[in-house]
Amino acid sequence: MIIKKGQRKRIKCEICKNVKNATLIHAKKSFAKTWSNGIAGEVDTFVLHYRIGKHQHGTRSCKGSDKVQKREHDGLLNSEF
């Protein structure tokens, strides 16, 4: 999967729990060490930062509007971001 800055995705707002459109503003790749049967290995991890646009929760503006929300993924590139 190709990750590009400015990519749009529908994610759940952490405050109001509604699914809204979000824009990818930052992606970071790192690795985590894993142990399996005494053998050390490395797994890529991805931290993606999204910004959800202004939206409402009921009759008021949601407090999660225009704030950065973070999603973490393990090394499965074909997993859904």
Domain parsing of the chain, residue ranges: 8-73
The angle subtended at Cα 48 by Cα 55 and Cα 76, nearest 5°, is 130
Q: For position 2, what pLDDT does the model report?
A: 67
Q: For position 45, what pLDDT does the model report?
A: 79
For the entire predicted model, the pTM comes to: 0.64
Q: What are phi and psi of 69, to 5 degrees?
A: -120, 140
For 21-77, write each residue's pLDDT tens digit: 888 888 888 877 777 777 777 777 788 888 888 888 777 888 777 788 888 777 654
Rank 5-9, 71-75, 77-81 by mean pLDDT and report only the highest. 5-9
